[in-house]
A and B are shown apart, each in its own frame.
Chain A
């Protein structure tokens, strides 16, 4: 009898203990929804941080360390070099041209795809992605084939004394081609989601096509446009492969920043090479920050009219 009581007491005690434990466990699970053991969590996080440090943070640090290895004066002297200045100017010019063109192309393409139904639409969407799936070197070679001395338009261009290859137009064309998808890609899903109802409302209220575009469509997609432009610009300034093929590497004339970095590096001018590289790295950092801010804006104000 006493045994039995003791038994039942101890049983209920361990029962209560188990129940309390289970409850604590459930509460913990509710709190953070992570049920993996602590050790697994720490391992995964450590791996991720280590990987990021070795492959992302360390190279960035090295770039800046090398750039400033001879002091700040050497750094600025390297940047003030006429070749470096010319490369910076060319890069900015090419980026401005290709971002400008792709802004227009991207808007038009996204508009057509999102707001109209027409045969071949799926094909067009696939075509827009082409520059992403083709190696940039091949994109460059296409332009050599088209505009080179032996290319399809080579003879005609020579006769009319128009220089495309190994000059600014060729570099701008190749960059534009490679960066084409960015604006369109950013806008298509956004415009598809927004549909055409607000535009229809604007027109039925008496707005003209232009008024509808500038007062209704553009404000609705402005963050998407900025997002596309930002990524497009980052890629345009950093493009190496396609530009390398069409540029001709004429010093002080057709070298963009990435090309100049390679040349200087091959000539063992490490400070100069990394000084230019540090500019590109800073561009990347600024792009990242701006991208984060823009993404926050893009997440706002979805689905206002669906409810």
Chain B
């Protein structure tokens, strides 16, 4: 099932939750919607599910207008952030719900329903919890039951809203791997929303980065990390050093100091220089584009993280390998191995 979203707009009062979003999701893909809170990612997911309606724009499944159908007809599996399990039903009945509410003409008989629920509980490895109630389960178990319940209706699309948001770090990591292998197994077109970049980069085939109701970049996890399309993406994904620079006549200046960096094809004016922390190479004083004094050093496993006060007054944090120990008070030269410059203040 492919999903196509065209020029979607959704406003809550004067706040534009979605401000002209275009997106194409391929069949069988596992797509991540990544962005800070308020970026519109959950709104987009809810509109695709039919739980919210856009003010303008189109949504189609396999070329068919989805907005003409209600949530009930769309056949979309939705996993809620807080699970939304039916609290008065056992785990078994929760998973069976979608099968029991089918119109009489297509409803399966009791034995088939039981077999199907059993199969789903096996799939999420929780068959031993069938008779429990949601309040008796741990967060990770509830999440997997919610997923089994959504899969029971054999959805054409699976949508997950912050699927691991409410879980602790260890369970998150396990469930992440599990979700990826599950998707590999069942191969249903899936979209999940997250504000956790690590989650998006690790699980998804493609990542959609959103901010303020707009899509900033769509690409593979490698793309969005290695070649961020906008200043926002560079700042949001991975840890970046961000410096305000001026581009003038082919020269890049930080304050009044010209930096020895290529400025080919850059528009003149105020810009931003982005460097990953580990891409800032340390050399002897006077050897690099930047210069500064080390303020603090802390060790993080294989790297040392140093706070450096640049000669222009800015303070940055860099990650340097530990082969050459830095000490507070050292004066060092810095050279960005890789960097990107985006126009705009």
Interface residues of A (CB under 8 A from B): 197-198, 200-208, 211, 215-216, 219-220, 301, 304-307
Q: B152 to chain A: which residues have CB within 8 Å?
A: 205
Please measure, in the bound complex, the distance between the C-alpha atom of A216 and the C-alpha atom of B153, giving whole angstroms.
Answer: 17
Report if A207-B72 is in contact (Cβ < 8 Å); known contacts: A201-B84, A307-B166: yes
Please measure, in the bound complex, the distance between the C-alpha atom of A200 and the C-alpha atom of B80, giving whole angstroms.
Answer: 9
Q: B80 to chain A: which residues have CB within 8 Å?
A: 197, 200-201, 305
Residue of B nearest to A222 (CB): B88
Task: Tell me how far the C-beta of A192 lies from the nearest C-beta in chain B, rounded to whole angstroms.
Answer: 15
Residue of B nearest to A197 (CB): B84
Task: Tell me how far the C-beta of A296 lies from the nearest C-beta in chain B, rounded to whole angstroms.
Answer: 16
Q: A307 to chain B: which residues have CB within 8 Å?
A: 82, 139, 142, 166
Tell me if B135 counts as interface (CB < 8 A to partner A): yes
Tell me if B50 counts as interface (CB < 8 A to partner A): yes
Task: Tell me how far the C-beta of A207 lies from the nearest C-beta in chain B, rounded to whole angstroms.
Answer: 4
Please measure, in the bound complex, the distance between the C-alpha atom of A201 and the C-alpha atom of B134, giving whole angstroms.
Answer: 15
Interface 0/1 of B44-58, CB less than 8 Å to A: 000001110000000
Report if A205-B88 is in contact (Cβ < 8 Å); known contacts: A304-B135, A305-B134: no
Q: For chain B, residues 84 to 108, give those with C-beta under 8 angstroms from any C-beta of chain A.
A: 84-88, 97-98, 101-102
Please measure, in the bound complex, the distance between the C-alpha atom of A219 and the C-alpha atom of B88, giving whole angstroms.
Answer: 7
Interface residues of B (CB under 8 A from A): 49-51, 70-72, 74-78, 80, 82-88, 97-98, 101-102, 133-135, 139, 142, 149-150, 152-153, 166
Task: Tell me how far the C-beta of A230 lies from the nearest C-beta in chain B, rounded to whole angstroms.
Answer: 20
Report if A205-B87 is in contact (Cβ < 8 Å); known contacts: A197-B82, A304-B135, A305-B82: no
Q: A220 to chain B: which residues have CB within 8 Å?
A: 87-88
Cβ 8 A contact of A206, one of B84, B102, B166? B102
Which 9 pairs of residues, A with B, have the shortest CB-CB distance? A197-B84, A205-B98, A304-B87, A207-B101, A201-B84, A204-B78, A219-B88, A304-B135, A305-B82
Interchain CB contact under 8 A, B82 and A301: no
Interchain CB contact under 8 A, B72 and A200: no
Interchain CB contact under 8 A, B84 and A198: yes
Interchain CB contact under 8 A, B135 and A207: no
Interchain CB contact under 8 A, B101 and A211: yes
Report if A205-B82 is in contact (Cβ < 8 Å); known contacts: A198-B87, A304-B135, A307-B166: no
Interchain CB contact under 8 A, B139 and A206: no
Residue of B nearest to A220 (CB): B88
Interchain CB contact under 8 A, B83 and A305: yes
Task: Tell me how far the C-beta of B25 lies from the nearest C-beta in chain A, rounded to whole angstroms.
Answer: 18
Cβ 8 A contact of A306, one of B70, B72, B82? B82
Task: Tell me how far the C-beta of A132 lies from the nearest C-beta in chain B, rounded to whole angstroms.
Answer: 31
Q: B77 to chain A: which residues have CB within 8 Å?
A: 204
Residue of B nearest to A219 (CB): B88
Cβ 8 A contact of B87, one of A203, A211, A301? A301
Please measure, in the bound complex, the distance between the C-alpha atom of A204 and the C-alpha atom of B76, giving whole angstroms.
Answer: 7
Interchain CB contact under 8 A, B72 and A208: yes
Task: Tell me how far the C-beta of B258 lies from the nearest C-beta in chain A, rounded to whole angstroms.
Answer: 56
Q: A208 to chain B: which residues have CB within 8 Å?
A: 72, 101
A-B contact list, 27 entries, CB within 8 Å: A197-B84, A200-B51, A201-B86, A202-B86, A202-B97, A203-B70, A203-B72, A204-B71, A204-B76, A204-B77, A204-B78, A204-B150, A205-B152, A206-B101, A206-B153, A207-B72, A207-B97, A208-B72, A216-B86, A219-B88, A304-B85, A304-B87, A305-B87, A305-B142, A306-B82, A307-B139, A307-B166
Interchain CB contact under 8 A, A203 and B71: yes
Residue of B nearest to A305 (CB): B82
Cβ 8 A contact of B88, one of A200, A301, A306? A301
A-B contacts besides A215-B86, A220-B88, 12 pairs, CB < 8 Å: A200-B78, A201-B84, A201-B86, A204-B50, A204-B72, A205-B97, A205-B98, A206-B75, A211-B101, A304-B85, A306-B82, A307-B142
Q: A197 to chain B: which residues have CB within 8 Å?
A: 80, 82, 84
Task: Tell me how far the C-beta of B66 lies from the nearest C-beta in chain A, rounded to whole angstroms.
Answer: 13
Interchain CB contact under 8 A, B51 and A204: yes
Q: A202 to chain B: which residues have CB within 8 Å?
A: 86, 97, 101
Q: B71 to chain A: which residues have CB within 8 Å?
A: 200, 203-204
Please measure, in the bound complex, the distance between the C-alpha atom of A206 and the C-alpha atom of B73, giving whole angstroms.
Answer: 7
Quick one: which of A202, A204, A304 has the most chain B CB within 10 A? A204
Please measure, in the bound complex, the distance between the C-alpha atom of A195 and the C-alpha atom of B105, giving whole angstroms.
Answer: 32
Residue of B nearest to A301 (CB): B87
Q: A200 to chain B: which residues have CB within 8 Å?
A: 51, 71, 78, 80, 84
Please measure, in the bound complex, the distance between the C-alpha atom of A130 and the C-alpha atom of B86, giving whole angstroms.
Answer: 35
Please measure, in the bound complex, the distance between the C-alpha atom of A206 and the C-alpha atom of B152, giving whole angstroms.
Answer: 11
Interchain CB contact under 8 A, B78 and A201: yes
Q: A206 to chain B: which residues have CB within 8 Å?
A: 72, 75, 98, 101-102, 153
Q: B49 to chain A: which residues have CB within 8 Å?
A: 204
Quick one: which of B49, B70, B84, B139 has the most chain A CB within 10 A? B84
Q: B51 to chain A: which residues have CB within 8 Å?
A: 200, 203-204
Q: B86 to chain A: which residues have CB within 8 Å?
A: 198, 201-202, 215-216
Please measure, in the bound complex, the distance between the C-alpha atom of A219 and the C-alpha atom of B142, giving whole angstroms.
Answer: 20
Interchain CB contact under 8 A, A305 and B153: no
Quick one: which of A201, A211, A219, A220 has the most chain B CB within 10 A? A201
Please measure, in the bound complex, the distance between the C-alpha atom of A304 and the C-alpha atom of B85, giving whole angstroms.
Answer: 8
